[in-house]
Amino acid sequence: MMWRVALPLATAFAVSLLALAPITRAADAVNPEADKKAFQKFFTDKFPKVKFDDFVNGPYSMNEDLHKQWEEKEQFPPYEFSLEAGKEMFSKPFKNGKSYEDCFPNKGIGIRQNYPYFDEKEGKVVTLELALNRCREANGEAPFSYVKDEMAALTAYMAYTSRGKPMDIKIPSDPRALEAYEKGKEYFYTRRGQLNFSCATCHVQSPGERIRAEILAPALGILNAMPIYRSEWSGMGTTSRRFTTCNSQIRGVPLSPQDDEYRNVEYYLSYVSNGLPISGPGARP
Amino acid sequence: MIAHLSKPALVLALLAGTAAPVSAQTPADGQKLAFDRSKGNCLTCHVIKGGDLPGSIGPELTDLKNKYSRDELIAIVTDETKRNPLTVMPPFGRNRILSEKEINSVVDFLQTL
């Protein structure tokens, strides 16, 4: 303690650090639970008329006329062919006699809401798409493209068997999991591309607004509807397709599907949508 | 305010220096740029007279001559994040989405609204 007397300047410095410490810690602390509450409150305050569970319907939740159109569309859903194909593929055995059922808890039924999860062995986020391709490769099958076709069909079926179940993403008490979450959050709010947009520019700042004839979807629950049939794509697309095409549209350089950064942003975005029902597969204009 | 105005003023001075005949482009050329999806694409976010299916993110572009000086319009199109860091509007000049000549042409058009 003598040094404090001897070095009053150092003491003053130490004291000021101590005084700052709690503030700094509060600002730096990663608090996913508080983030989630604030994120959800932002949307429910902004759209007081939208029922909480309806946010998963994207642009259709933002506008009554569109909502009617969507209800009519759901009578003959454009994703049906993909869903049927996915169902068939899912139970069909691989060459080695095993199937997807052997790779997932509860044989893969009704588990979509638990993805992505943080794998503590690997130290990284594992998405449903990634788990499906790993299952294939572990059984001697070639991986599928992440963006559409078979991958969209398989995830469509898995989402369908999970419809209505609340998104339930866990963040284990592992500093790497918190770091993945924080990195995903940072990615989500960082502007990029020639057009200088972040994910949040459109889907937090401007949901419900029109870009030409299209209505921007709210970020809340946006992944609950994946995969989606998009008229604009004339076909199905996965979460990977959504992320890579968003990056291209803002004139940025898309990452590879299932790049660590995309896995992290999916982790963040899914976590803050916890509690909202799985609604995939979805249909979008 | 001085800091805000100096950059566009400089831009104008540079343009004058290059003696690029701004008048060679007509407001109609500016309108074309403003409606073109791969260029200004203003219509994606703003209601503009003469444009079909406008977006709704930005304010309607009307009576701009009374609302802003030419310098201010050039500054906004060049990099609106300087005035408003949270703006959705892309920095058309800073990120070279439009050339200085094209920005001038768009502003010619904006001043007719």
Q: What span, in angstroms and rounded, lies between the C-alpha atoms of A278 and A282?
A: 10
Map tokens 């076709």 to a residue. Answer: A149
pLDDT in tens, B16-73: 444 444 455 778 899 999 999 999 999 999 999 999 999 999 999 999 999 999 999 9
- Domain ranges, residue A126: 80-160
Give the DSSP letter of residue A187.
H
With respect to residue B82, please indicate whether it lies within any of the assigned structural domains.
yes
Note whether A183 and A255 are same-domain residues: yes
| Residue B83 lies inside a defined structural domain of this protein | yes
Cβ-count burial of A229 within 10 angstroms (0-12 exposed, 13-18 middle, 19+ buried)? buried
pTM (two decimals): 0.85
- With an 8 Å Cβ cutoff, are A209 and B44 in contact? no
Closest CA to A258 of A280, A239, A274, A278: A239
Mode of pairing for the β-strands spanning A282-284 and A228-230: parallel
B19 part of a folded domain: no
Nearest to A193 by CA among A244, A269, A156: A244
CA closest to A211 among chain B residues: B55
A278/A206 same-domain check: yes
A242 in helix, strand or coil? helix
User: Which chain B residues have a beta carbon less than 8 Å from that of A212?
Assistant: 43-44, 53-55
Contacts of A96 (CB under 8 A, 6+ apart): A139, A140
The verdict on A194 touching B (C-beta cutoff 8 Å) is: yes
A205 with A275, same domain: the answer is: yes
Q: What is the ipTM of this complex?
A: 0.81
pLDDT digits (tens, 9 = 90+) for A60-88: 999 888 888 888 888 889 999 999 999 99
Q: How many domains does chain A have?
A: 2
Q: Any idea what the Cα angle at residue B31 is, between residues B25 and B36, rounded to 5°?
A: 110
User: 3-state class of A115 per DSSP?
Assistant: coil
Q: Which of A103, A135, A202, A246 is catalytic?
A: A246
